[in-house]
Structure 1
């Protein structure tokens, strides 16, 4: 039976296309394991597929566990027929449990856990959380709560006279006690059949050795096939676990690739902004060259005073030039001190003292130049954006 259950679940859960069951692909393995464990613990419940009708009129083909749940009441074991539907979002969604009475059974009214239409609502269903919850624990809880208060009773039927007093002499007291009460937990009576063995030496027939060999060969083949199936099943389970692990690794890599792609896009946007700034500066320089190219065309370059060739346009530019000139002058002085100390003209302690003083002065010049450059850049960008809107980023 376990082999047929496995084959059935493998078949229905592997279907694709319009006939596929509406369960998530990454949950089908868990659904299969839940049903296999359920049938192993409670063979009276077997999986099957059936059409489920939603309240809004939709119909969908779903898995269900159909059968009976054993319970113990007053020292007697009874079987309660139930239907356990696995909804579309199972196992993250709680299963839908129904008590499924037969024609000669009625639902107890009122019942704390079963509605008049058979819907079951026990605390385990109300606190269902995957992956901690499963079908085996669900049925165990159903058996516990049904034993506290049986949900089904058999309808009282008129007693019929039995003409065989030897076989039913022990049932007389039972029937009379049942007639004295209104209802009793529903359970089909257990029927035991007994056939006495034939007398020794009478009717014994020797079996054909060929038939015995054939039966033994069939049993051996069945045993070998069962062993092979168990080994194949174990191998497939290991492969499935490996595939799930690989799927998890691929998802992590997908997240890393998405994160890297976003970083590259951000870097691209930053480079585009820098490119726009370079283009604006290039246009400014080209415009300056066009405006000043003709001013020196007719003059003697040797007579041009470099200090007077450039005229500063604002205070920031003058401050920038002063800081740059001072920085370069300090740099030349430090270089000259390096040459002097190497040639032994300047003592080493005096060299260190002068370099320390010059380095401090150079630091302040460079810091001032950096601040002036930042202010000039902001002013230049604002001016170019106002004069040339075509450079605005799209």
Structure 2
């Protein structure tokens, strides 16, 4: 258990690091920062040799980003003795939804065991608990326990033997000065060869990454162009569908009007089909326009009065232009006739609306019968 003072200091550090804004803000989702803080506090509380820090992490594609890490040692019991294995646990941008990245961090006098079942030559740790990481049940405390257990079964580090001191040159009889034996020469050549091989491998990997990145950029541009074309087609299809729906609605309205007029015509034909045979020879033509319905009579009367007033106003207008009718009398009569004509037209509109409602009700009743 870490001392309360240290825990308070770590708590303040995490709160400050996770609440920063602007360019120096850590690249974690806002909704997961409370989980990250609690996971690190639980880890430090259980493993006091680990300390949370912020450092720069370089991805394989060359991107560098400032992340949180837990740096320190993990206890490793081996053959009855407890050893401390230096590790660095990086919390990547997608943590805790994705597992952290764990590296063994050997000191100068330590060498990574080759081959190792869980640690690569670069120090990267691979464990089943990392591959099977499940949010939110997986956490850093369980990870540290798995690391300790895995390292106990197969220690990843061993101490590098220090070379013996170089012997001093000595005189040999008949041979002058002998050449000093330096066991480091072979080791130095091997180190140079290994360094050159690593540099060559890094250069090849970098070239491969550049080629892969270029290919992915070309592929991404093609996909973006295809996406733009699909979006444009989607917009055209939506506009066409909208026009078709509007046209369909207009046609349905016209069909209703045609059906209404057809029904009205059929009704009129049925009602007047036998009247032509019963007409008298001396039948007055004006009687053919006599309305039998109250609304129709009212409509005919309003229309006749409206047209009559229209004719009177026309005659008064001509009389005024010819100088027969004075101007004040012309204005007074036009005002009175216009008011009367307005009431006749308003009445006709109301009668027409009532007739239309009656026709619609009649058609609906027939359709449901």
What TM-score do you get using the length of structure 2 for normalisation? 0.49
Which of the pair has more CA radius of gyration? 2
What TM-score do you get using the length of structure 1 for normalisation? 0.46
